[in-house]
Copies of this chain bind each other. A is one copy, B any other.
Amino acid sequence: MTTTTDNILKRNQLSVTDSRKKILELFTANDGALAHSDIEKKTGEKFDRVTIYRTLQTFVEKGIIHTIPTVDNSVLYALCKMDCTEGHHHDNHVHFVCDNCNVTYCLDDVVTPKVNLPDGFKPKVMDVVVSGICKNC
């Protein structure tokens, strides 16, 4: 049987390995964003730290996941839900960070609003980070 994670990997011309499957599963199973350390914990330290770095980097390059800008400058990753392609990531995204439980949500469905920039600034990509209280708190 071919699982969803296998498909995602194959579609991106990546060989299907234990670490990639497991890490990708974490993302599909979770609607929150994950930090490198979360992944280490949730995989039970089964994989080398270096492997996790390389796997995440590969996934970002392929457009499977993307990094989330955070105010405290921790590094967070979340699944790309739609048309992200290698190299360029389609990110008109809204991210939500809960002040209480500290989970970061990637709200792909929320439409990003327009902003009026000063003269001379030409916008291309926009990332929005909202913080507050989430639906589960």
Docked CA distance A116–B111 (Å): 8
The answer to whether A110 and B99 touch across the interface, beta carbons within 8 angstroms, is: no
Q: 1/0 per position for A105-124, CB-CB distance to B under 8 A? A: 10101111111111111111
List of B residues within 8 angstroms of A115 by Cβ: 94, 110-113, 128, 130
Please tell me if A133 contacts chain B, counting CB pairs below 8 Å. yes
Please tell me if A84 contacts chain B, counting CB pairs below 8 Å. no
Taking Cβ atoms with an 8 Å cutoff, the residues of A that contact B are 67-75, 94, 96, 99, 105, 107, 109-136
Provide 30 A-B residue pairs closer than 8 Å at the C-beta atoms, listed in order of the A residue: A69-B69, A69-B70, A69-B129, A70-B73, A73-B74, A94-B115, A94-B117, A96-B117, A96-B123, A107-B117, A110-B116, A115-B128, A119-B135, A120-B134, A120-B135, A121-B130, A121-B132, A121-B133, A121-B134, A121-B135, A122-B132, A123-B130, A123-B131, A124-B133, A125-B132, A126-B129, A126-B131, A127-B128, A127-B129, A128-B128
